[in-house]
Amino acid sequence: MIQELIFATGNANKVSEIQSILGDKFSIKSLKDIGFSQELEEPFDTLEANAKTKAEQLKEITGKDCFAEDSGLFINGLNGEPGVYSARYSGADATDSRNIELVLKNLEDKENRSAYFKTVIHLLKNGKHYQFTGICEGKIIPNPIGDNGFGYDPIFIANDIPERTFAQLTKEEKNTISHRAKATKKFVEWLKK
Ligand code: ITT
């Protein structure tokens, strides 16, 4: 039987990446699929706390078990920025390209360009809370390259595939090494138990 999971996200790219790892035994319903158009609040300064609150807010509204994820890019030469604020780094009208521009500008005079992506998945099931974490280490390049993926993918090169940016990888390739893939694989292992 196909297990249905509600994913507290408005980000279609996250849904697509996670669905392809979960496979056809699981069916993910996004906020859009369940007709929910409000944005969930993310008021905290850690991925863990924001993932938890997004899952709790949706549980409160739907009464159903669900999961959420919060992720971000942590750049060592910028003291961990944009981090938990990755989605809105360049302000209220942030876009992926404005965020990238700001990161590159802030890194101009920095020698250390190492960075990592981190994902925290928070599952609320039968009143219990579970978290699964994934990290992908790499570096930020000076100019964006590639059209695939989303967010900061065009400026991030993972240590595991050092020849290409995340935006030059296929979804399948990104899903072998990414932060989200690592967290999702732990999540799937848990679900299969
Ligand atoms: P939610 O509805 O799930 O909150 P969101 O896009 O607002 O969707 P987050 O708050 O978790 O998601 O912000 C994560 C930001 O971090 C995202 O908008 C990207 O800018 C960046 N990011 C996360 N994972 C990424 C990835 O795999 N590749 C590139 N950028 C990523």
Structure tokens at 128: 């219990």
The span from the CA of 178 to the CA of 137, in Å, is 9
Q: Is the CB of 165 under 6 A from ligand 1?
A: no
pLDDT tens-digit readout, 123-165: 999 999 999 999 999 999 999 999 999 999 999 999 999 999 9
Supply the pTM of this predicted model: 0.95
Bridge-based pairing state of the strands 114-125 and 66-75:
antiparallel
Q: Whose CA is nearest to atom 13 of ligand 1?
A: 87
Q: Whose CA is nearest to atom 1 of ligand 1?
A: 9
Q: Report how many domains make up the chain.
A: 1
What CATH number does residue 156 fall under?
Answer: 3.90.950.10
Structural domain containing residue 34:
3-192
Return the ∠ at Cα 154 (arms to 89 and 55), rounded to 5°.
Answer: 50
Q: Give residue 25's identity as a one-letter amino acid code.
A: K
Res 187 pLDDT > 90 = yes
Res 1 pLDDT > 90 = no
Instruction: State the sign of the Cα–Cα–Cα–Cα dihedral 170, 32, 85, 68.
Output: negative
Report whether 124 contacts 55 (CB < 8 A).
Answer: yes
For residue 138, the cross-strand partners are 115, 158
